[in-house]
Amino acid sequence: MIRPNILVILTDDQNGSALSCAGNRWLYTPAMDSLASQGTRFTNAYAVAPQCTPSRYGLLNGVYPSSVGVRGNSDTPDPVLSPPVVADGLANTLNVAGYHTAYSGKTGVNDFPTYGFAETLWGPGRERNLDYIIPWLQASRPDPWILVTSWIQPHDINLEALHDAFGVNRTTQLDEAMANPPGVTDTEFFRSFAPLLPPNFPRTDTEPDGVAVMLAQDSQRQWVRDNWTEQDWRRFRWAYFRLVERVDGYIGQMLSALYSSPYAQNTVVIFASDHGYLDCRHELENKQLPYHDALHSPLIVRPPGGGTARVSDAIVNTGLDLLPTVLDYAGVDYSGRHGQSARLAVEGMQMPGRVHISEYYYGYCAQDGRYKLWRDDNGSESLFDWEIDPGEMTNLGNDSAYDQVRAELGAVLDNHIATVPA
């Protein structure tokens, strides 16, 4: 059996609704859509953490970030716990299995040299992945290989809030994204071009205690809440979607190079993001908290040569399931891993049901497809019922009618906290 090559494409800060194939009318993503037309798009894919460092640690190692003490961006992996975890991570496992492993782009993790990729493809510049990826894809090399490509955008959107709050310089890419279309006045821009605000834009009186904790630690977020006008928020959304389109263009060029290469018919393509983005929901522009859109991330798996277009509602934990999915296609045993392979759904079969657990830098979260329970480290709990409240606007954390639901999901979190680190 010929083992397939594997191309993994990661964007940064892209939520699962920021694709035109997901029905978003405010942007156009033909490259991402093309993958969905030849593979399976997962509508219930969620990050293991709503921040970059813990999420990417999970993606590259298939473990919960807390297993090595990494629940926030400022954390560094425990020097005792980390080496055995990394030894079983994506790169080292496939090195042992005979794959040539390569990585290109943003790392977003601490202590990256220990991750074990045999080759790295990058150089100066924020967006120069293509300078290295296209020649690499078109060069002749022995099969099998895996190339993980990690793109910075749409992460630059964060610099807009920093610029407004603290005068931090924006990038050229963000300046271009913030601009009106050529020849369009501000009046016309807000009348005909700027995205509307989402239905769950307003803050509420029952928002989780964790929001106040985060705002107290992050003056940028608080400044934005206190000072931005509706037009500021709408221009922010406009720029966010332009940055998504920007990275979609890069992905399109990369896919064109792959499809014209000798590897076109024997390469699995997996597209995901490190986590989602709040994108103006709850009057928050960033991520960090386990609200739906901060965790909800795109996931598309295109089998070798392309396959049947499917949409799966299976609950997928991208931070845990990317590694088993890659190993499944590579023909490597993944039993005993925290996650599960998404290949079953790609081939039209049912994936096992599960409760998704995510970790954030001062708490944990469990969601079962209808209910979501947050638990901050101080013991405060928040509960949302997606069936009646998909925008997570009503916190049921103190509603006695939901005591049993809180107890059941709370038991899941109790077990998680007791057994991880593992």
Q: What is the pTM of this model?
A: 0.96
> CB count, 10 Å around CB of 84?
10
pLDDT at 411: 97
129 vs 134: CA distance, rounded Å: 8
pLDDT at 113: 61
Dihedral sign (CA 44, 395, 24, 161): negative
Residue 113: is the preceding peptide bond cis (ω within 30°)?
no
Determine the angle formed by the axes of helices 219-227 and 158-166, rounding to 10 degrees: 80
Phi-psi region of 118 (alpha: psi -120 to 50; beta: other; left: phi over 0): alpha
pLDDT at 400: 96
Of 140, 135, 167, 150, the closest CA to residue 13 belongs to 150
Torsion of CA 18, 35, 275, 412, to 10 degrees: 110
Give 332-373 pLDDT, tens digit per residue.
999 989 899 999 999 999 998 899 999 999 999 999 999 999
45 vs 313: CA distance, rounded Å: 8
pLDDT at 127: 76
Domains contained in the chain, CATH given: 5-156+238-353 (3.40.720.10)
Say which residues have a Cβ less than 8 Å from residue 79's Cβ, sequence separation at least 6: none
126 vs 377: CA distance, rounded Å: 36
pLDDT at 123: 64
Of 101, 17, 6, the closest CA to residue 295 belongs to 17
The answer to whether the CB of 3 falls within 8 A of the CB of 266 is no
The answer to whether the CB of 93 falls within 8 A of the CB of 335 is no
pLDDT at 77: 85
pLDDT at 112: 61
Of 190, 104, 185, the closest CA to residue 149 belongs to 104
Residue 225 phi, psi (nearest 5) = -60, -40
Low-confidence ranges of the chain (pLDDT < 50): 422
> CB count, 10 Å around CB of 352?
8
The answer to whether the CB of 59 falls within 8 A of the CB of 107 is no
SS3 of the chain: CCCCEEEEEEECCCCCCCCHHHCCCCCCCHHHHHHHHCCEEEEEEECCCCCHHHHHHHHHHCCCHHHHCCCCCCCCCCCCCHHHHHHCCHHHHHHHCCCEEEEEECCCCCCHHHHCCCEECCCCCCCCHHHHHHHHHHCCCCCCEEEEEECCCCHHHHHHHHHHHHCCCCCHHHHHHHCCCCCCCHHHHHHHHCCCCCCCCCCCCCCCHHHHHHHHHCHHHHHHHHHCCHHHHHHHHHHHHHHHHHHHHHHHHHHHHHHCCCCHHHEEEEEEECCCCCCCHHHCCCCCCCCHHHHECCEEEECCCCCCCEEEEEEEEHHHHHHHHHHHHHCCCCCCCCCCCCHHHHCCCCCCCCCEEEEECCEEEEECCCEEEEEECCCCEEEEECCCCCCCCCCCCCCHHHHHHHHHHHHHHHHHHHHCCC
Determine the angle formed by the axes of helices 318-330 and 52-61, rounding to 10 degrees: 20
Of 3, 21, 27, 36, the closest CA to residue 245 belongs to 27
